[in-house]
Chains A and B, each alone.
Chain A
Amino acid sequence: MSKVMMVALGVLVLLLIVFPFGVNPYTVQVAITTITYSMLGLAFAFTMRVGLPRFDIPAWWGVGGYTTALLMKDGMSFWLTALIGGIIAVILGALVFSIAIPRGMIPFLMIGMVLTLAFYQMYGSVSLFGAWSGITNVPPPTIGSFEFVAKRDLYYMGLFFLALNLVVYYLLFNSKFGRAWNAIGSSLRLARSVGVDVVKYRMANVLIGNFFLALAGSYFVGYYHAALPAVFSFQSALLVMVYLIIGGFTHSLAGPILGALIATFIPQYLRVEAEYQTIFTAAIVILILMFLPLGVLGWVDQKVKPWLYRQRWYARLNKGKVLG
């Protein structure tokens, strides 16, 4: 990584840590929401890399959420419930996807939708999950005697989960897994012809995503203190996709985060009324699809980067290095 990049990253990390001290708690809450939607978006972009659009995000997000809600009510430690939720999501996922993945992209897509609807129905009808009223008054996460109640502390917890997610994905992308996934996303037939077991690598990809989705669900209940069916609904699946389009779906790590940032902060800044937020988001998506189809990051790749390379001061900063 170049010196410029390292400095920029350092500044970013510093800003992220200092952020809650300079703003009011409400803005911190918005940041918490951004973190949640970033994690969901990361999961969607993750499976898109192997050519599988997943519509089942609310289902597994809910598995983590409800596992944490139920087990914490029984007194279990938050962190243990998060781990258990992740494991359940992986095991259930393995059962379902062993049928779905060998059949290809369209069956996978359809089964994803069915999963979201089925889980939603289950969360709302089964009394164990509190039916439509859900499970409320979930105690806050703790480490020893320290309780995560203040918005600032929950924000840092979120940063931890998000960082964990990003680091694991980044390491995977730069491993044999990442190489196989790139091949699968590029050309299924060619990948098969050079010995890539497409089903096995797709399965690994989807199940890893399942684990982190469940983790996101546990984090959500950690600050929302409740698990309600209405949260883990089909609409959330669509919102996640929309945020990724805004950010730029060709960038698996930065796209979802940028998209979530734009879609959660801009309505706040413009003081859009809560009822109009979805309409506002829809308007942004239509504009993006018309003018920046590859999202903000796609626009950066196509217009900003070439402009940047032409600037004298940028060339001087990167003296001697191969650009692009």
Chain B
Amino acid sequence: MALLEIRNLSKYFGGLAAIKQLNLDIFDSEIVGLIGPNGAGKTTLFNVITGFYPPNEGKIIFRGEDITGLEPHQIAQRGLGRTFQQSLLFMRSTVLENILIGFHMNCRAGALKEFLHTSGSRKADQEAREQALEIIDFMGLDPLKYKLPEELSSGYQKALAVSIAFATKPKLLLLDEPVTTLSPDKVEMIMKLIAKVRDAGTTVVVIEHNMKAIMDFCDRIVVLAYGRKIAEGLPQEIRENKEVVEAYLGAIG
């Protein structure tokens, strides 16, 4: 059984079909690259899967459960994390606090119970802190942990965004353009981090325009254009696929 199953998914904005009858499976422990020209529906797909938009048609099944129509926080609590194209961060909190929010909020422990058991809550806070520091260490952000996001370079800000989503301990992580605008050395830093995340047991789907990053790090590639899946396969196959080339460059001749 696939980790994520998308069946006959459609999303319309007025008369415009952003996603049309999409069928897609994502399996355990793979890194899938999601590519396609601008406006292909990639970010919309992420938004529909994570509950930010309701679909017009179709089903989304995650770990065997139908999550279609659930609220974003409910989907996040079931182990599906994501980042945003604009690399959203909690700007008023330190790096450590950012990670703590990601980790703590996904803890099943009730806020009221924690508050009333003041001795228990101190223990819970201590544990959360320790786990957050582990995550920070894993992601290589330790020297930055007391800094505010605005003090970080864009490369580290993007690393932080990925880390916050990772702190929720997801089974599936959807990353929206995690390396866009970064220099090649930073691209490699982030992509290596993503591979590390996958090796730790989290499946990753990456939307990207950086072809080198996609080809070098993804196990499988899915190509979207005009809301439809036009190709799916290994990086080498996709590279040689005529339809894909046409979709990006426009028909030749």
Contact = CB atoms under 8 A, between A and B. Distances in A.
B92 A179 contact: no
Contacts of B71: 192, 197
Q: Which label, helix, strand, loop or mixed, suits the secondary structure of the A interface?
A: helix
A182 interface: yes
A172 B115 CA distance: 7
Interface stretch (B106-114, B218-226, B230-238): B106-114
Contact of A183 (B50, B101, B115): B101
A318 interface: no
A195 B105 contact: yes
B111 A189 contact: no
A247 to B, nearest CB: 19
A190 B168 contact: no
Interface residues of B, number: 35
Contacts of B167: 194
A275 to B, nearest CB: 42
Interface in B162-216: 164-165, 167-168
Nearest to A186: B90
B115 A190 contact: no
A179 B168 CA distance: 15
B93 interface: yes
Contact of A177 (B82, B92, B111, B164): B111
A84 interface: no
Interface string A165-209: 000000110011101101101110111111111100100100000
Contact of A194 (B74, B111, B168): B168
B151 to A, nearest CB: 12
Interface in B79-101: 81-84, 88-93, 97, 100-101
Nearest to B50: A193
A176 B52 contact: no
Given A176-B114, A176-B115, A190 B88 contact: yes
Contacts, number: 90
22 contacts: A171-B115, A175-B114, A176-B111, A176-B114, A176-B121, A177-B111, A177-B115, A179-B97, A180-B101, A182-B92, A182-B93, A182-B97, A186-B91, A187-B90, A187-B91, A190-B84, A190-B164, A191-B101, A194-B102, A194-B105, A194-B164, A195-B76
A193 B164 CA distance: 10
Nearest to A176: B111
Nearest to A197: B73
Interface in A44-60: none
A186 B94 CA distance: 12
Given A176-B104, A191-B105, A194-B164, 4 more contacts: A176-B121, A190-B88, A192-B73, A195-B168
Interface residues of A, number: 24
Interface of A: 171-172, 175-177, 179-180, 182-183, 185-187, 189-198, 201, 204
B72 A193 contact: yes
Contact of A193 (B81, B93, B114): B81
Contact of B105 (A172, A183, A186, A204): A183
Contacts of B168: 194-195
A248 to B, nearest CB: 15
A238 to B, nearest CB: 27
Contacts of B164: 190, 194
Contacts of A192: 52, 71-73, 76
B101 A194 contact: yes
B164 to A, nearest CB: 6
B29 interface: no
B92 A196 contact: no
B23 interface: no
Nearest to B101: A183
B77 interface: yes
Given A194-B101, A194-B168, A197-B73, A180 B90 contact: no
A196 B89 contact: no
Given A175-B115, A176-B114, A196 B105 contact: yes
Given A183-B101, A187-B88, A189-B52, A195 B115 contact: no
